[in-house]
Amino acid sequence: MTDSVVIVGGGLGASRLAENLRGNEFAAPITIISAEAHPPYDRPPLSKSTLTDAADRVDLKPSEFYTDAGIELRLSSRVVAVDTAARHVTVETGGQRSEVPYGTLVLATGLSPRRFPGEGADLSGVHVIRTFDDAVALREDVDGVRTAVVIGAGFIGCEAAASLTKLGLTVTVVEPAQTPLAGALGPVIGGFVARLHTEAGVNLRTGVGVTRLCGTDGRVSAVELDDGTVLDADLVVVGIGGYPDLTYLEGSGIELADRSTGGGIACDHLGHTSAPGVFAIGDAANWADAHGRRHRVEHWNHTVEQAVTVAAEIEEHALPAPTVPYFWSDQYDLKVQLLGAPRPDDQVHVVDDDGRKFLAYYSRDGLLTGVVGAGRVGKLMKTRPHLLTETPIAELLDAQ
Ligand SMILES: Cc1cc2nc3c(=O)[nH]c(=O)nc-3n(C[C@H](O)[C@H](O)[C@H](O)COP(=O)(O)OP(=O)(O)OC[C@H]3O[C@@H](n4cnc5c(N)ncnc54)[C@H](O)[C@@H]3O)c2cc1C
């Protein structure tokens, strides 16, 4: 067994891994090295209640947990290099560099938000939502503002639109695809999600891109679209996804995954990277599945499950049973949930649609691949056992 665990990153993956290790009575030193000044906190509220209800209690654990559990938290400290031969990481804290040795290293560095790539990206009033500080900056900027433009209708863009609408702003969402969430859920379900937003009064502009952000006195005032439209914008939220910033791994020899599979740190199905004693979990990790296919997944539950698996690997315990992938998103008063791992081009079978709430199955080659629902929590969760086995879609449709 290893003599020490160093975790790079201070988010969900890092916190859960440390917690799992200590929960299993792992006694060796554990150090979490985080670039952020805050102890590990939860990100899902940042686009929801942190904006709408000023919910600031987002810590994953009370601060005394780390002291009581003997977990060293090094905050405001960025890992800038990894030496897998010498087994140490180089840490930069307040301009000073030091080396921290490791027995086992776990990389849990999450994502950096993509910034708007064109003119106007640096104007004030242009926001992203990845960190607690981002969310607070956005919330504070809403005061006295009337119009907002959200660029991108992925999950975070959709949630930001719902939250800003709830705060009384007039919101326009601009999305180059034909529907919101088309890349994740496909156009049929994307159309249902579009319905939620237009009903709530959001001006949804799909099939069109943003050319530039225009400013007045250094602050954003308008957004120009590629069809020539100019939208008033007192505030802009850029929700165009994130990328794993892995510059700290340059020269480490740790293998990265091909971009076509989502990029990130290449891992086997148990989280081992190409370097001995080095694991990766969470949004930055690209694990192989049981069939050897690679996926980089940006879901809360996925990170939690990877932390359980890697803790078991480090401690040489039996592995937990496989579970069903799960994701949720809160938009307006509805919980949108996804079980399984459907592809956006899978066949969609809508089994319940009251004009707002809905439930639909996805299938491929006649087998159930996923279930998506909005406001149908109980019904959706009941389908979970069917995703643990190979279930013919006809069986489920016949039972309707
Ligand atoms: C606004 C928002 C809303 C979300 N809502 C949902 C939701 O509703 N449902 C859902 O399933 N998922 C949601 N997610 C996704 C979920 O939060 C992530 O999947 C999860 O946080 C991933 O955990 P992680 O540990 O991989 O990364 P993170 O939680 O991002 O933590 C990574 C940490 O590593 C630090 N770091 C990076 N590089 C270095 C370095 N070189 N040295 C030291 N530290 C470093 C970062 O500063 C950060 O603190 C949301 C995410 C966001 C941003």
Residue nearest to atom 25 of ligand 1 (CA): 13
Atom of ligand 1 lying closest to residue 45 CA: 3
Token pair belonging to 96 = 């000073």
Residue nearest to atom 16 of ligand 1 (CA): 300
CA–centroid distance, residue 75 to ligand 1 (Å) = 15
Positive/negative CA dihedral, 304, 310, 311, 313: positive
Residue nearest to atom 27 of ligand 1 (CA): 110
Using 50 as the pLDDT threshold, list the residues of the chain that sit under it.
none
Amino acid found at 315: E
Strand, helix or coil at 57?
coil
375-382 long-range CB contacts below 8 Å, 24 or more apart? 375/333, 375/334, 375/335, 376/337, 376/352, 377/335, 377/337, 379/352, 380/337, 380/339, 381/339
8 Å CB contact between 225 and 212: no
With a 6 A CB cut-off, is 132 part of the ligand 1 pocket?
no
Output the pLDDT for position 291.
Answer: 78
User: What kind of fold does domain 5-111+244-315 have according to CATH?
Assistant: FAD/NAD(P)-binding domain (3.50.50)
With a 6 A CB cut-off, is 127 part of the ligand 1 pocket?
no
Distance (Å, rounded) from C-alpha 293 to C-alpha 278? 20
Atom of ligand 1 lying closest to residue 11 CA: 31
CA–centroid distance, residue 11 to ligand 1 (Å) = 6
Output the pLDDT for position 322.
Answer: 72
Distance (Å, rounded) from C-alpha 353 to C-alpha 392? 22
Q: Can you name the residues that pair with 384 across neighbouring β-strands? A: none
Output the pLDDT for position 84.
Answer: 98
CA–centroid distance, residue 167 to ligand 1 (Å) = 25
8 Å CB contact between 273 and 266: yes
Helix, strand, coil percentages, rounded to 5, for the chain:
25, 35, 40
- CATH topology match: 114-240 vs 333-398: no
Q: Model confidence over 5-52: pLDDT tens digits?
A: 999 999 999 999 999 999 988 999 999 999 999 999 999 999 999 999
What size, in residues, is the chain?
400
Distance (Å, rounded) from C-alpha 359 to C-alpha 215? 43
Closest-CA residue to 314 (of 249, 270, 254, 256): 270
Distance (Å, rounded) from C-alpha 183 to C-alpha 30? 38
Q: Hey, which of 60, 106, 109, 127 would you mutate to test ligand 1's pocket, going by the most ligand atoms within 8 Å of its Cβ?
A: 109
Superfamily of domain covering 333-398:
FAD/NAD-linked reductase, C-terminal dimerisation domain (3.30.390.30)
Output the pLDDT for position 54.
Answer: 86
Output the pLDDT for position 320.
Answer: 78
Output the pLDDT for position 323.
Answer: 82
- Cα angle value 300/369/173 (rounded, 5°): 55
Distance (Å, rounded) from C-alpha 274 to C-alpha 296? 16
Output the pLDDT for position 24.
Answer: 84
Output the pLDDT for position 153.
Answer: 97
Residue nearest to atom 38 of ligand 1 (CA): 109
Distance (Å, rounded) from C-alpha 338 to C-alpha 361? 10
Q: Hey, which of 7, 8, 12 would you mutate to test ligand 1's pocket, going by the most ligand atoms within 8 Å of its Cβ?
A: 12
**Burial profile 66-87: b = 16 or more Cβ within 10 angstroms, e = fewer:** beeeebebbeebbbebbebeeb
Calculate helix-pair angle for 12-23, 300-315, nearest 10 degrees. 40
8 Å CB contact between 301 and 329: no
Output the pLDDT for position 292.
Answer: 82
Atom of ligand 1 lying closest to residue 77 CA: 43
Q: What is the CA radius of gyration of the chain?
A: 22
Measured in whole angstroms, the distance separating CA 107 from the mean position of its chain's CA atoms is 16
Domain ranges of the chain: 5-111+244-315, 114-240, 333-398
Closest-CA residue to 127 (of 38, 234, 212): 234
CATH-assigned architecture of domain 114-240: 3-Layer(bba) Sandwich (3.50)
